[in-house]
Structure 1
Amino acid sequence: MERAADILIIEDDPSINEVVCAHLERRGYRCRQAFSGTEGLMLLREERPDVVVTDLMLPGIPGEEIVRSIREADGELPIVVISARITAADKIMLLTAGADDYLTKPFDLDELHARIDAQLRHRRTRGNAGGDATAGTREAERPRRVLVFQTWELDPDGRVFCVDGEEVALTRTEFNILELLMGRPQKVFTKQELFELAWGEPYSVEDSTVNVHVSNLRRKLKPTGTDGYLQTVWGMGYKLHNA
């Protein structure tokens, strides 16, 4: 029997924290509750959850620092932010810090459940390397597929990305975007294609999520001198460029 997914809820408003916890537990999740940023980080160190749901305006340690701390230690752990702050600048800041998704308050509990479930599906898809022991043996015997583009090397199975042999730390979403681009280096991917393939969710026309993650990738790649490999095709999307 598959174990219940563990959700860490970091929210200082007791009424919101309790109603989110009750709603998710009714749907089969196991929830742990923190009512400050400091308590949230303490619980994170004690036991790694499957998804973190966090507010931004928290006593002790603010939510932005929690997101950054998680991303520095773990590029794979899904983070869903719930916040009353709704400006485009807030959204860009969250995605730049490493959040995977966000909902603005007041939010629908069923929508939060759907967002969490989507993050768990993405994680299971990535982690489903073989199934039974026989499949695992077949996988071990199969030559490892490594994607190469100029000085980039990306190992989809090991989830490692290197430039000139030096590993570059990426978030889960950044890795997914590069895996798509390197898998078909001559193709121009529209923002809709990148979003729906990397996130597995329908794309919203006004969504700037892809732009923010590509900008983050360029920033991380700039010290390697390879940020120019990511080419913007104006009016269409992105592709790799033989810079």
Structure 2
Amino acid sequence: MNRTTHILVVEDDSDINQLLCKILMKSGYSPQPAYSGTEAMIYLERQEWDMVLLDLMLPGLPGEELLMKINEKNSTPVIVISAKEEQQTKVSTLRIGADDYITKPFDIEEVSARIDSHLRRYSRMICMAPSNRMEYKDIHLDKDTKIVTINQSEVMLTAREFAILELFMSYPRKVFSKANLFESVWEETFVGDDNTINVHMSNLRNKLSKANPDEDYIETLWGMGYRLK
């Protein structure tokens, strides 16, 4: 089953907004209309979007400022659709992060083709890019932000605890001996100090259990080591 493509349409003219939404729905996409920059920010903070269609002359928050905020957060492709025809406006908008610039009045088929083209290119980039987000059961681990969540609630881990969990999630079927864990996480030769491993494993397990008491994430294989359960 294919994932639904969600596109935010930021346009204060209701007729144009409705037209763009119809174009998107005809192509099988799921549009969300927003009629001001302020309203658009609410949707942007609420979820991730596959694309944003953006007018520049908006009430509340100008389109240029909204574009910069989008690019600060992620790499969502943005197509600007504006009545501003000045070459300098087009150039400056592309420089601050727009992926394309379409001038009003626009051709419906051209808009549809450009949307499809940018989504295909973005999809290929996502497939080629190494993933820095890991999932196991209801645990989500982000290697870039060093944030771990369980059931969408953040779990505060120390650097060592995070490294241990990341190691487990990188090799979900592997059994790690205490020596494996110590040499992988501490990057030092293991000399038989079980206490260090025991304390960190106990703390990690307690934090995971507290976040979701109904789930058991790590199991101990006596005489062998630990692995994800």
TM-score w.r.t. the length of structure 2 is: 0.55
Contiguous gaps of at least 5 residues in structure 1: 130-155, 160-243
Mapping for residues 53-64 of structure 1, pairs under 5 Å: 53-64=53-64
Residue number in structure 2 paired with 1:126: 125
Residue number in structure 1 paired with 2:66: 66
Alpha-carbon shift at residue 91 of structure 1 (Å): 0.9
SS at match of 1:128: helix
Please give the per-residue CA displacement for 1:44-89, whole angstroms capped at 9, x wherever unaligned. Answer: 1111110000100000001000100011111x21000000111111
One-letter identity of the residue aligned with 1:106: P
Paired with 2:8 and 2:108, the residues of 1 have a C-alpha distance of 16
One-letter identity of the residue aligned with 1:93: S
Paired with 2:27 and 2:70, the residues of 1 have a C-alpha distance of 26
Residue number in structure 2 paired with 1:52: 52
Paired with 1:88 and 1:112, the residues of 2 have a C-alpha distance of 19
Paired with 1:124 and 1:48, the residues of 2 have a C-alpha distance of 14
**Residues paired across the two proteins, number:** 133
Percentage of pairs with the same residue:
43
Alpha-carbon shift at residue 158 of structure 1 (Å): 6.6
Residue number in structure 1 paired with 2:91: 92
Residue number in structure 2 paired with 1:180: none
One-letter identity of the residue aligned with 1:119: H
Paired with 2:44 and 2:130, the residues of 1 have a C-alpha distance of 26
One-letter identity of the residue aligned with 1:57: M
Contiguous gaps of at least 5 residues in structure 2: 133-229
SS at match of 1:94: helix
Are residues 1:32 and 2:39 paired? Answer: no
Paired with 2:23 and 2:123, the residues of 1 have a C-alpha distance of 22
Mapping for residues 196-207 of structure 1, pairs under 5 Å: none
Residue number in structure 2 paired with 1:78: 77
Asked which structure has the greater CA Rg, the reply is 2
One-letter identity of the residue aligned with 1:51: M
Q: Provide closer, same or farther for how the CA distance between residues 4 and 110 of structure 1 changes in structure 2, counting only shifts above 3 A.
A: farther
Residue number in structure 1 paired with 2:101: 102
| Divergent runs of 4+, >2 A | 156-159
Please give the per-residue CA displacement for 1:141-181, whole angstroms capped at 9, x wherever unaligned. Answer: xxxxxxxxxxxxxxx6479xxxxxxxxxxxxxxxxxxxxxx
One-letter identity of the residue aligned with 1:20: L
Paired with 2:45 and 2:98, the residues of 1 have a C-alpha distance of 19
Paired with 1:55 and 1:32, the residues of 2 have a C-alpha distance of 14
Paired with 2:120 and 2:89, the residues of 1 have a C-alpha distance of 26
Paired with 1:87 and 1:158, the residues of 2 have a C-alpha distance of 39
Paired with 2:32 and 2:131, the residues of 1 have a C-alpha distance of 30
One-letter identity of the residue aligned with 2:76: L
TM-score w.r.t. the length of structure 1 is: 0.52
Alpha-carbon shift at residue 107 of structure 1 (Å): 0.3
